[in-house]
Amino acid sequence: MGQEIDRKQAEALRGFLSERRGEWLALTRRIVEIESPSGDEEGSRAVVGLLAEVARGIEGVANVERLKSENYGEHLRLRAFNDAGGEGSLLIVGHTDTVHPRGSLRERPWREEGGRIYGPGIFDMKANCSLVILALRA
């Protein structure tokens, strides 16, 4: 019986993620198309602002904090499902800056090809930041 419940939950999760693939790709593209090289305060604030805006619309997200980082930009802290931050809390760490200087997007624009997506910072780690948002929704 336990395996059947796990299988049903896994299928429900798979369906949820499949239904939202386009939404995830759209958010990922928006993040990638905001150039945010390391130390670029404007780019950092823009990416964090977008992620904060999207996170505020997720049921279960109790708190969204934009934390200033002098000479860098901003960090984002979300509290979800356990707003007290007590037992059962989960810490997910990521970053929104890239090694790519401004202008890289012109040379390497967003593209989807052969079931893969490409763009500056896509793998490290902008796609993962949008994936966290999708996971919170799930």
Q: What is the pLDDT of residue 13?
A: 93
Torsions phi, psi of 98, nearest 5? -130, 170
Tokens matching residue 13: 């999760």
Query: Going along the chain, which residue ranges are E strands?
Result: 61-69, 73-80, 111-113, 116-118
pTM: 0.88
Structure confidence by residue, pLDDT tens digits, 29-69: 999 999 999 999 999 999 999 999 999 999 989 889 999 99
Task: Give the C-alpha separation, 125 to 94, whole Å.
Answer: 7
Could you tell me the mean pLDDT of each successive run of 10 residues in the chain, 138 residues long?
Answer: 77 95 96 96 96 95 92 91 66 90 96 96 94 93
Q: What is the pLDDT of residue 38?
A: 94
